[in-house]
Structure formats: structure tokens, C-alpha cells
Amino acid sequence: MHLVTIGKPNVGKTLLLINLAAYLGLSEVRLEMPDGEGGQQVKRLSLDRARRDLMSWSAPRTRAIQTAIIETLVGRQRIRLVAIDTPGIHEGIASHPDQRHLVALTLEWLIRAPMIVHVVDVSAVGSQRPEAPGPLDLALAQYGQRLPGYIVVANKMDKLGSLEGLRAIRDAYHEVPILPVSCITRRGFRDLKQWMLHMVT
């Protein structure tokens, strides 16, 4: 089953996936990413290594669509998830064709994946930073409204001002499940896991 993370740049999509993998008891992630020459490259990374290589605290780091395969046993059921980590989408029409291509690829996954995790940085609500929720997030929430496999992850709940942000998001997005999460304090991971298991079974 495919799961796609989608959202603005630097909202924490990649770290969410890595930490979720850790939470599910995995010790390494298997990554498939384009190697730049039209082929696929498969990498095995320990989770610490993945955190170091795949993310940064300030600048958006994911520049291509990456696929992580999450395989785990829950009880007696084997669960196989293909997690698609997409680069963040900026508001507005990108000037570079390559970037527009990436946006199109990302949106294609939005249509195809049965599980959509829409990541929002609630601590940035109202700010001018690129990760601040904007028209794109609102549009995504509207898109997700009628889908059973759609969830909004209100990320960075550990940061200052996130509570107000969460409230604003809850007011603005109607009829979609919103899950407050922090990748630092692991808040909300239990619910996220439950949701995933529910979707998979």
C-alpha cells in the first residue's frame, strides 16, 4: 500500500517518515531514489544516518521523490507500506521547468496513493516563512475532504505558538482529521500508527 507525504517545504515530511519508521520498530530504511541518470538507486540507511543525510534544520532538503519501504510485523500481520516522500511544494508557479516537473510528479502521487499524509507546520501559521500554511494547504484539505485515507498532520507541536496555529488550522479546514504531532517529543505517533494500521487492515 502506498502512503504519500505532501506539504510545503521544510514542514518536516522526511523526518516524520524516519521517526515513524523508528516508532514502528525499524532499525533502517530502504530508500529508492532516482540516481540522476534515469535509473533507480537503492540505499540502506540506518535511521541516524538517514536523519543526518536526509534533513536539515533550516533549509528544505528533499529535492527528489524518494521511496522508503516500511516493512514490519504488527502482531501476526505483516505490514508493507511504500512511503513516498515528496519535495515540498512552494506556493505559486515555479519558474524552473524541473521544479514544475517535480510538482507534477508529487501531485500525481496525491492522486494515486490511497494514504495521504498532509503535513502542516502549525508553528508557522501567520508567518512569512515558506513553510507557513497557505492557499495550497487549504486546497489540499479540500481535496482530502471526501477521501477516507487523508489525514492532516499538524507538525512541530513542540514549538512556541503551535497551539494557536493548531486552533487556526482546525477552524480553517473543515471535515478532515487533524492530528497534532511533534517529531521531537513523539507526540501523536501512537495515533498515527493506529491510523496507519487501520488503513492497512
Partner 1 sequence: MATRDVTPGSPEEILHWVEQGRLAPDEAVLWLAQVTKATEAKRDRTDSTEETADAVLAELDRMVGLSEIKRVVHDIRAFVEVQALRRGAGLQVNQQTWHMVFSGAPGTGKTTVARLIGRLFKALNVLPKGHMVEVERADLVGEYIGHTAQKTRDVIKRALGGVLFIDEAYSLARGGEKDFGKEAIDTLVAAMENYREELLVILAGYPDEMAWFLNTNPGLMSRFPIRLEFKDYSAVDMVHIARRMVRERDYILSQDAEQGLLTLLSDNEGYWHKNAGNARMVRNLLEHAIRRQAVRLVGRNIPLSRHDLMTLTWSDFEGGLD
Catalog residues that contact partner 1 under the rule CB under 8 A. 74-77, 89-95, 97, 100-101, 103-104, 107-108, 110-111, 134-136, 138-140, 142-143, 145-146, 194, 197-198, 201
Beta carbon nearer to partner 1, 44 or 190 = 190
Taking CA atoms, 75 is separated from 67, 78, 81, in Å, by 25, 8, 16
- What is the three-class DSSP state of 175? coil
Answer for the pair 6, 89: CB distance below 8 angstroms, yes or no.
Answer: yes
- Residues 2 and 115: their CA atoms lie apart, in Å, by 6
Closest contact distance (angstroms) between CB of 10 and partner 1 is 16
For partner 1, the closer of residues 89 and 166 by Cβ is 89
Cβ of residue 174: shortest distance to partner 1, in angstroms?
13
For residue 108, the minimal CB distance to partner 1 (Å) is: 6
**Sign of the CA dihedral running 168, 173, 179, 184:** negative
Query: Which of 2/159 has CB closer to partner 1?
Result: 2
Residues 164 and 180: their CA atoms lie apart, in Å, by 12
CB of 171 to partner 1, least distance (A): 19
Residue with cell 488550522: 169
Shortest Cβ 185–partner 1 spacing (Å): 19
Residue 49 or 193 with smaller CB distance to partner 1 = 193
Strands (E) located in 86-144:
115-121
44 vs 100, beta carbon nearer partner 1: 100
